C-alpha cells in the first residue's frame, strides 16, 4: 500500500535561492511512475543558501508506513559505489524539519529507499548538497510504502491500465446526450450505441459528474444497479454528455461483470531461486545517527492475466489497444519501484461458452513480472566510532 507524497513533477511550492534553479524536464528514461515529467534542480556553486525546499500545507501522516521511496540521478556527483560513511554522500534530505538522512546518488536513474518507521509525519522536502560545486540532479515520484506485495502489484497494474485507457479514450466512448432528474432509477436513452446490460456510463454536464452501471434494459429504458455511484441519479441533468466506460477490476470473481471491461487476474507467485536471502541491505543513513539494515527478501514471479470482455469486437479492440500499449512499455511501477514486464505468451481469443445464451467476445493477454519482498524488519546499525589505543611495551 502506498501514500503519494509528491509526484515531483511540478515546480509549484518549491523554493530555491538564485542562481540555483529548479524546472521540469521531459526525458522518458528520467521519469518515474506514470508522470510526464520530473524535477531538475541545479545547485549553483555561487548559491549561498544551497537548498531546495517544499513545505506542505497539510503534513502527511506516515505513522503506518515503513519506507520512503523516490528516484534520483545526479549528472556530476553520481557514482556506482558503496555508500557507508557520511563522507561518501553528496546530498541529504530533511523530511520533518528535524530528521535528516543522507541519500546516495548514482550515475543512473535509481530508486532510493529510506526507512521512516520512526517518523509520524512528513511536512517538507528539503534537499541540501554536501559539496560546493555546481551540480544538477533529477528527482521523481516520492511515495511512502508499507508493503502488501500482491495487493500492491495488482493495484499497480490497474493503475497503469486505467492510465492508458484514459490516455486513449479520455472520458470514454461518446454515446450522445441524456436528460435525467435526481433520484431517477431508470434512464430513457434513444439509440444508445454499444450500451447494453452491465455497461458502465459516465455522465457529465461540465459541472457535475457521476458514474453508473446499467443492470438491464428494455429497448430504450435502462435500469441502474447499486454499483459505482449507486442505483439513483445524484444530480439533475439536461442534455448532458454520457460516455461508455472501460473499467478494470482486480480478481472480480463472482461479482457482477462489467461489459465492456478488463479483468486483472494474478494470485499465485512462483519463487525464483536467484539472489541471496541471507544478505543484508543497508539504507536510511541518518545524519548524526546510524543506519539501518534488513535481510534481503525473496524474489517472486507473478504471471498476470488481462482479460478484455465485451459484446462487440469493436469494443474489444478499444480495450486491447490500451493493454498492448501498456505491455509494450515493458515496465511496471509498483510503489515507486520500476519492474520489468515481459510477454509470457501470445494473446488468445477465448470463444464464447457454447452453453451460454448470449455471445461474449474475450481476448486475454498475459505477462510476467518479478518482484522482491521487502517485508523483513529493519534493524538499527550504530555509527562506527574510531578508538585509538596506545600500547606501551614493557621493558
Distance CA 146, CA 17 (A): 35
- Joined grid coordinates for residue 170: 479520455
In CATH, 149-168+250-380 is 3.30.2000.30: yes
DSSP result, 213-225 = EEEEEETTEEEE-
Give CA separation, 342 vs 28, 95, 156, 159, in Å. Answer: 19, 36, 16, 18
Q: What is the DSSP letter of 230?
A: -
Query: Which portions of the chain are predicted below pLDDT 70?
Result: 254, 275-278, 350-359, 382-389, 395
pLDDT at 192: 80
d(CA 213, CA 227): 6
- Cα angle, residue 143 at apex, residues 126 and 42 outer, rounded to 5°: 40
DSSP tag of 259: S
Q: Residue 190: what pLDDT?
A: 78
What pLDDT is recorded for position 281? 82
pLDDT tens for each residue of 323-345: 999 999 999 999 999 999 988 77
Q: Global pTM?
A: 0.89
| Domain extents in the chain | 2-145, 149-168+250-380, 174-245
**Given this model, what pLDDT does residue 385 score?**
57
Q: What is the per-residue pLDDT for 382?
A: 67
How high is the pLDDT of residue 383?
63
Is there a shared CATH topology between the 2-145 domain and the 149-168+250-380 domain? Answer: no
Looking at 1.10.10.10, 3.90.550.10, 2.60.120.260, 3.40.50.1000, the CATH number of the domain 2-145 comes to 2.60.120.260
Strands across the sheet with 200-204, in order?
A: 173-180, 237-244, 200-204, 209-218, 221-224, 186-188
Amino acid at each position: 500500500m502506498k501514500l503519494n507524497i509528491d509526484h515531483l513533477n511540478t515546480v509549484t511550492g518549491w523554493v530555491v535561492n538564485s542562481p540555483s534553479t529548479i524546472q521540469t524536464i521531459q526525458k522518458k528514461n528520467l521519469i518515474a511512475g506514470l508522470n510526464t515529467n520530473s524535477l531538475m534542480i541545479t545547485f549553483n556553486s555561487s548559491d549561498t543558501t544551497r537548498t531546495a525546499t517544499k513545505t506542505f500545507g497539510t503534513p502527511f501522516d506516515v505513522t503506518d508506513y515503513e519506507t520512503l521511496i523516490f528516484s534520483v540521478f545526479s549528472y556530476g556527483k553520481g557514482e556506482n559505489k558503496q555508500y557507508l560513511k557520511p563522507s561518501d554522500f553528496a546530498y541529504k534530505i530533511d523530511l520533518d524539519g528535524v530528521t535528516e538522512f543522507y541519500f546516495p546518488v548514482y550515475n543512473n536513474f535509481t530508486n532510493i529507499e529510506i526507512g521512516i518507521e520512526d517518523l509520524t509525519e512528513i511536512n517538507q522536502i528539503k534537499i541540501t548538497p554536501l559539496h560546493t560545486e555546481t551540480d544538477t540532479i533529477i528527482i521523481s515520484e516520492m511515495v511512502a510504502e508499507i508493503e502488501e506485495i500482491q495487493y500492491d502489484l495488482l493495484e499497480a497494474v490497474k493503475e497503469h491500465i486505467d492510465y492508458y485507457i484514459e490516455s486513449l479514450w479520455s472520458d470514454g466512448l461518446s454515446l450522445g446526450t441524456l436528460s435525467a432528474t435526481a433520484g431517477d432509477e431508470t434512464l430513457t436513452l434513444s439509440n444508445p450505441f454499444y450500451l447494453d446490460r452491465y455497461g458502465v456510463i459516465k455522465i457529465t454536464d461540465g459541472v457535475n459528474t457521476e458514474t453508473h452501471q446499467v443492470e438491464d434494459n428494455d429497448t430504450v429504458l435502462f435500469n441502474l444497479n447499486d454499483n459505482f455511484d449507486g442505483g439513483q441519479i445524484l444530480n439533475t441533468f439536461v442534455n448532458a454528455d454520457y460516455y461508455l466506460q472501460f473499467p478494470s477490476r482486480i480478481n472480480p470473481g463472482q461479482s457482477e461483470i462489467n461489459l465492456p471491461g478488463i479483468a486483472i487476474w494474478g494470485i499465485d507467485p512462483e519463487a525464483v531461486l536467484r539472489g541471496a536471502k541471507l544478505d543484508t541491505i543497508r539504507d536510511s543513513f541518518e545524519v548524526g545517527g546510524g543506519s539501518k539494515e534488513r535481510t534481503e527478501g525473496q524474489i517472486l514471479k507473478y504471471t498476470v492475466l488481462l482479460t478484455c470482455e465485451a459484446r462487440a469486437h469493436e469494443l474489444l479492440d478499444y480495450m486491447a489497444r490500451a493493454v498492448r500499449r501498456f505491455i509494450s512499455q515493458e515496465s511496471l511501477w509498483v510503489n515507486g519501484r520500476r519492474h520489468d514486464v515481459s510477454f509470457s505468451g501470445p494473446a488468445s481469443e477465448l470463444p464464447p461458452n457454447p452453453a451460454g445464451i448470449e455471445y461474449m467476445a474475450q481476448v486475454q493477454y498475459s505477462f510476467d513480472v518479478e518482484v522482491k519482498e521487502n517485508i523483513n524488519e529493519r534493524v538499527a546499525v550504530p555509527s562506527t566510532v574510531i578508538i585509538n589505543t596506545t600500547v606501551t611495551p614493557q621493558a
